[in-house]
Chains A and B, each alone.
Chain A
Amino acid sequence: MLAYIFRRILIMIPTLFVISIITFIVIQLPPGDYLTTYIANLQMTGEVTDEAVIESLRARYGLDKPLPVQYWKWISGVVQGDFGQSFSYNKPVKELIWERLGLTMTISLITMLCTWIIAIPIGIYSATHQYKFFDYLFTFLGFIGMSAPGFMLALVMLYISYSVFGTSVGGLFSDAFIDAPWTWAKVVDLLRHIWVPVAVLAVGGTAGLIREVRANLLDQLEMPYVITARAKGLSEWRLLIKYPVRIAVNPIVSTIGWMLPGLLSGSVIVDIVLSLPTSGPLLLNALQDQDMYLAGSFVMLLSTLTVIGTLLSDLLLAWVDPRIRFERQAS
């Protein structure tokens, strides 16, 4: 097992290296660099651009150097935890991103928990009551949930809350807490607001998971061992929980890996619609302003989280299912 973990972590390094290169290329794609935008803005407002200041800025960020040098400067900083300077906020990137990334992760993790808590019981119910009214209802709702994109649900949610309650559900904090330091009251305030994005984000995943649990459990319920157990007089409830459900819930473990990236990725747009102080809106702004270090750090960190998520689920799977462990060792 240790060797397997070691090998998986080793594979991560080239993956992250290639990701960092792609990120850098993507961020460099727009014509011109931040400074050209900056100069254009200054000229629009009628300010005189000082050649000397611009030259010093260019030298400081290495914008006059060839691309590989710029990449090297950037990536060696990132590895040491220095993400560079955000041009538009005039602050180090690391001061801007951690709180926002933290909130994004909090929302994603809570969403994931909610998804399981809702989806597993409903999936079990649907499978044991196949083709009954509620099974059809859940199947139907599930399909709609899978088809409705998060940002549209967010729009509908905004509309309903605004027209029914007269308030906007956007944001994560009440006005009084937006810039306040973290206190217990602020956490409570956060919890009062966080259910909206969590609800919106959970819909898609829940719908998918219900269908998966239902299909797996239906397969298991036909197995001879279930009939044997029933013939031996095991109570229906214990029979269900003890064997088939455990197998049916297995895919949850295997999907943690891509559920997290899916959530992170989906939350970007939902958060923009709900104007949450998370990474999504800041990433969008950074991309629009060509604030390359800020945007690059976000894409890089979100990708890293994705890779870590995949790693975790692979390890969990290997831990749960010995076949994977041995197959990998053999090859």
Chain B
Amino acid sequence: MNDALMKRKTSEERKYLAGQWRLMWWKFLDHRLAVAAMCVLFFMYLMAVFCEIAAPNGPNVRSAENSFQPPERIRVFHEGRPHRPFVYGRTVHINPETLVRTYTDDTTRLLPVRFWVKGDPYRLWGMIPMQRHIIGLDSGDRLYLMGADRLGRDLFSRIAYGSRISLSLGLVGVFLSLVLGIIIGGISGYYGGVMDILIQRFIEILRSFPTIPLWLALSAAMPAQWSQVRVYFCMTIILALIGWTGVARVVRGKILSLREEDYAVAAKVAGVREFTIILKHLIPGFASHLIVTVTLAIPGMILAETSLSFLRLGLRPPTISWGVLLQDAQNVRALSLYPWLMWPVAFVIVTVLMFNFLGDGLRDAADPYSH
């Protein structure tokens, strides 16, 4: 018996003994792109959770002398020699006629980049008072990784704060549509009959609505004096109103095929309540498919929030979300002068792309017994 054979045998044994979720996990790990996407998303959400620390500056700290400051590059070479990370200081020149500000690097002034540095004070999660930031400059100077807006606010810090709203809104919306979808789809699939026909017709009607005009109309219906928290939750409800139909269809289809299985009938004969049968015995049978549906629904919700806020129908300043930040990019003239205002676009596209990759990998992994 040589080692290689032993090894193979144990790995095969492992495969036979592994549970469904473990097999899925292994299959998922084979999908390199999906794993990479999961890592990127993990860091995105980490940034959203700890945005106060991740942001070098306070999101609402104005500084008139830094208005429209272009992005600063962190350098590690000074005059051809390696140097600790730093950025060059800048001098500003204001065109007296057009009032356009041009910034030039002052290569004699080196501002060292510090890590875990004291900067603008904040309250972590609105509670714990802190001053440290992962990255920043010595006090008095501001680090503009992605440039500044008109009021001299740091765009990267604002994107970090915006991610908290933009990324969470997708999750909350999907959670709501999951709850709605499971309840309605479950009823439709388990009881069948007239209920089923009515629910299916209703879903068809909802789906034949052009989504964006409907979203526009619903968001326009939110009164302007509402608090932003209320607007936030209303938006998740608006998004979930259409999102649940996809979940409901999956749930119904799967329950229809599973409810005649022996184990479901056995549970019924044993006198288990119907609601418990659906929740405890049927749904775990296709939970993986649900996860896929839900993962692929999140990017749509993030995009919807961004579009609605961009059109000034969703969240409004002073709330910070990626869509709100993009409102500044509406003006072509400003965009051509200050192209870094488009940075939020990159974050949105990367997030959506990563969710699509992740969903793709999950879909392959959802059925680990195939092939």
Query: Across chains A and B, which 10 residue pairs bring their CB atoms closest together, nearest first?
Result: A29-B221, A287-B220, A265-B210, A147-B353, A147-B352, A265-B212, A163-B336, A26-B217, A30-B221, A162-B336
- B185 close to chain A: CB less than 8 A: no
Determine, out of B39-47, B103-111, B263-271, B299-307, the stretch whose residues face the partner at the interface. B299-307
Contact yes or no, A264 B217, CB < 8 A: no
- A19 close to chain B: CB less than 8 A: yes
Contacts beyond the supplied A22-B209, A147-B353: 20 A-B pairs with Cβ under 8 Å: A143-B353, A146-B356, A147-B352, A149-B306, A149-B307, A149-B352, A155-B342, A159-B332, A159-B336, A159-B342, A162-B333, A268-B210, A268-B212, A269-B307, A284-B216, A287-B217, A288-B220, A290-B220, A295-B220, A303-B208
Contact yes or no, A156 B345, CB < 8 A: yes
Contact yes or no, B335 A148, CB < 8 A: no
Q: Which residues of A contact B307 (CB under 8 A)?
A: 149, 151, 269
Contact yes or no, A268 B213, CB < 8 A: yes
Q: Which residues of B contact A303 (CB under 8 A)?
A: 208-210, 213
Q: Mostly helix, strand, loop or mixed at chain B's interface?
A: helix
Of B217, B220, B303, B335, which is within 8 A of A149 by CB?
A: B303
Contact yes or no, A152 B214, CB < 8 A: no
Contact yes or no, B345 A152, CB < 8 A: yes
Contact yes or no, B217 A295, CB < 8 A: yes
> Known: A146-B356, A149-B303, A159-B339. Is A302-B220 also a contact (CB below 8 A)?
no
- A247 close to chain B: CB less than 8 A: no
Interface size class of A (residues with CB under 8 A): 35 or more
Q: Which residues of B contact A273 (CB under 8 A)?
A: 330
Q: Report how many A-B pairs have Cβ atoms within 8 Å.
A: 120
Q: Which residues of B contact A26 (CB under 8 A)?
A: 214, 217-218, 221
| Bound CA–CA A110/B305 (angstroms) | 28
> Known: A147-B349, A265-B211, A303-B208. Is A158-B216 also a contact (CB below 8 A)?
no
- B156 close to chain A: CB less than 8 A: no
The chain B residue with its CB closest to the CB of A303 is B209
Contact yes or no, B342 A306, CB < 8 A: no
Contact yes or no, A168 B332, CB < 8 A: yes
- B68 close to chain A: CB less than 8 A: no
Contact yes or no, A283 B221, CB < 8 A: no
Interface size class of B (residues with CB under 8 A): 35 or more
| Bound CA–CA A31/B223 (angstroms) | 7
B interface residues with partner A (beta carbon < 8 Å): 201-202, 204-205, 208-214, 216-218, 220-221, 223, 299, 303, 306-307, 310-311, 313, 326, 329-330, 332-333, 335-336, 339, 342, 345, 348-349, 352-353, 356-357
Q: Which residues of B contact A239 (CB under 8 A)?
A: none
- A70 close to chain B: CB less than 8 A: no
Contact yes or no, A307 B208, CB < 8 A: yes
Q: How far is the CB of A144 from chain B (nearest CB, A)?
A: 7
The chain A residue with its CB closest to the CB of B221 is A29
Q: How far is the CB of A289 from chain B (nearest CB, A)?
A: 10
Contact yes or no, B299 A147, CB < 8 A: yes
The chain A residue with its CB closest to the CB of B204 is A15
Q: How far is the CB of B183 from chain A (nearest CB, A)?
A: 21
Contact yes or no, A272 B311, CB < 8 A: yes
Q: List 9 A-B contacts (CB under 8 A).
A: A29-B217, A152-B345, A156-B345, A162-B333, A273-B330, A283-B213, A288-B220, A290-B220, A299-B210
Interface 0/1 of A156-171, CB less than 8 Å to B: 1011001100001010
Q: How far is the CB of A186 from chain B (nearest CB, A)?
A: 25
Contact yes or no, B209 A306, CB < 8 A: yes
Q: Which residues of B contact A92 (CB under 8 A)?
A: none
Contact yes or no, B216 A306, CB < 8 A: no
| Bound CA–CA A331/B216 (angstroms) | 39
> Known: A149-B306, A159-B339, A295-B217. Is A269-B205 also a contact (CB below 8 A)?
no
Contact yes or no, B213 A299, CB < 8 A: yes
Contact yes or no, B212 A15, CB < 8 A: no
The chain A residue with its CB closest to the CB of B202 is A18
- A310 close to chain B: CB less than 8 A: yes
Contact yes or no, B209 A19, CB < 8 A: yes
Q: Which residues of B contact A29 (CB under 8 A)?
A: 217-218, 221
Which A residues from 97 to 156 make CB contacts under 8 A with B?
143-144, 146-149, 151-152, 155-156
Q: How far is the CB of A48 from chain B (nearest CB, A)?
A: 26
